[in-house]
Amino acid sequence: MTLPENAAQSSKPDRPVDPGPPELHVVFGAGQIGTRLATELLSRGLRVRMVRRGQPAHPLPGVEWRRADVADREAAAEAARGAAVVYDCANPAEYHRWDELLPPLKRGVREAAARAGARLVVLDCLYMYGSPDRTPFDEDTPMRPCSHKGELRAMLARELSEAHARGEVRATTGRASDYFGPDVPTALLGARFAERILAGKPIEMGGDPDQPHGYSYGPDVARGLAVLGANPSADGKVWHLPLSWTGTTRGLVEAIGAALGRRGRVRPMPDWLMRAAGLLSPVLGAAAEMTYQWKVPYVIDDRRFREAFGVEPTAPEVAVAETAEWIRSLAPARAA
Q: How many CA atoms lie within 13 A of 28 on its CB side?
A: 32
Indicate the pTM of the whole model: 0.91
Find the domain containing 107 and state its range.
Answer: 24-182+215-244+299-311
Indicate whether 222 belongs to any domain: yes
Indicate whether 276 belongs to any domain: no
User: How many structural domains comprise the chain?
Assistant: 1
Give the separation between CA 80 and CA 77, rounded to whole angstroms: 5
CA angle 290, 102, 278 (to 5 degrees): 40
Give the residue-averaged pLDDT of 265-275.
89
Of 54-63, 238-247, 250-259, give the lowest mean pLDDT range.
54-63
Of 1-5, 15-19, 97-101, give the lowest mean pLDDT range.
1-5
One-letter amino acid identity for 143? Answer: M
Indicate whether 86 belongs to any domain: yes
Tell whether the model's pLDDT for residue 3 goes beyond 50.
no
Indicate whether 139 belongs to any domain: yes
pLDDT of residue 4: 47
Indicate whether 59 belongs to any domain: yes
211-229 residues labelled b (16+ CB within 10 A) or e (exposed): bbbbbbbbbbbbbbbbbbb
Give the residue-averaged pLDDT of 126-140.
97
pLDDT of residue 14: 63
Indicate whether 322 belongs to any domain: no
What percent of the chain clears pLDDT 70, i.e. is strictly above it? 92
271 backbone φψ class: left, alpha, beta (φ>0; ψ -120 to 50): alpha
C-alpha 128: how far from its chain's center? 16
Q: How many CA atoms lie within 13 A of 214 on its CB side?
A: 21
pLDDT of residue 26: 98
Of 17-26, 130-139, 231-240, 316-325, give the lowest mean pLDDT range.
17-26
Q: pLDDT class for 320, splitting at 50, 70, 90?
A: very high
For 25-54, write each residue's pLDDT tens digit.
999 998 899 999 999 999 999 999 999 987
DSSP per-residue letters across 68-99: --TTSHHHHHHHHTT-SEEEE----S-GGGHH
Indicate whether 19 belongs to any domain: no
Give the separation between CA 212 and CA 248, rounded to whole angstroms: 4
Indicate whether 203 belongs to any domain: no
CATH number for the domain spanning 231: value is 3.40.50.720
Residues 6 or more apart whose Cβ sits within 8 Å of residue 155: 103
Residues 6 or more apart whose Cβ sits within 8 Å of residue 30: 38, 50, 51, 52, 56, 57
Provide the 3-class DSSP secondary structure of residue 170. strand
Instruction: Indicate the helix (H) or strand (E) that contains 277.
Output: helix 271-277
Helix, strand, coil shares of the chain as percentages rounded to 5?
A: 45, 15, 40
